[in-house]
Amino acid sequence: MSVVLRFKPQLRHVPQLSGGLVRFLASKGGLPQVTEFSQFEQMRKNKEAFIIDVREPEELTEHGSIPGTVNIPLGDLQEFFALGDKEFHSRTGFPKPKSEYPIVTFCRIGQRSATAQQLLQDKLGFDNVSNYLGSFTEWNKKATK
């Protein structure tokens, strides 16, 4: 006997981008990437970039977070970056980055953060955005050794 559970999942609205991840993967040179754990750690420890964790808050509670990073879920990026400087600082604990300041995005495996990277560049006007390809999964394995 099998049991079929029926439920209606609660999905957050995530901005849709032209081409989405397919565009990212198919683009000629791709978008800028942070490919090495050591490069990410240097940027994080030396505060060389504004680093955004685009995972949901529940994921941070369950799996942990990376010190010195700010959690702005992918579905909230546009709302947060529409805030004024004081309100942004009040809600995140970090100053709002200027459009030319380096930003690095990450999530659990790099897929949502690639979407966030494209959103920050294409829709929100940031010039210097990279995606940490290893994302939290790699960081958690290497930083906790």
Contact status, residue 129 vs residue 31, Cβ threshold 8 Å: yes
Domain that holds residue 44: 29-143
In this structure, the strands spanning 33-34 and 50-53 are: unpaired
- The reply to whether 18 falls in a domain is no
In 10 A of CB 110, how many CB atoms? Answer: 19
Report the CATH number at residue 78: 3.40.250.10
Q: Tell whether 67 is covered by a domain.
A: yes
41, two tokens:
């750690």
Please report whether residue 64 resides in a domain. Answer: yes
Q: Is 123 a member of any domain?
A: yes
* Structural domain total, the chain: 1
Retrieve residue 96's tokens: 């709002």
Answer yes or no: is pLDDT of 2 > 50. no
Query: Up-side HSE of residue 93: CA atoms within 13 Å toward CB?
Result: 8
Its pTM stands at 0.80
Distance CA 113, CA 91 (A): 21
111-127 per-position pLDDT tens digit: 999 999 999 999 999 99
What is the average per-residue pLDDT within 3-28? 49
Residue 22 has pLDDT above 50, yes or no: no
Q: Phi and psi of 9, rounded to 5°?
A: -65, 145
10 Å Cβ neighbour count for 77? 21
| Domain annotation covers residue 87 | yes
Residue at 60 is within a domain:
yes
- Residues 76-94 pLDDT 10s: 999 999 999 999 999 999 9
DSSP labels for 11-22?
A: -------SSHHH
66 within some domain:
yes
Q: Judge whether 134 lies within some domain.
A: yes
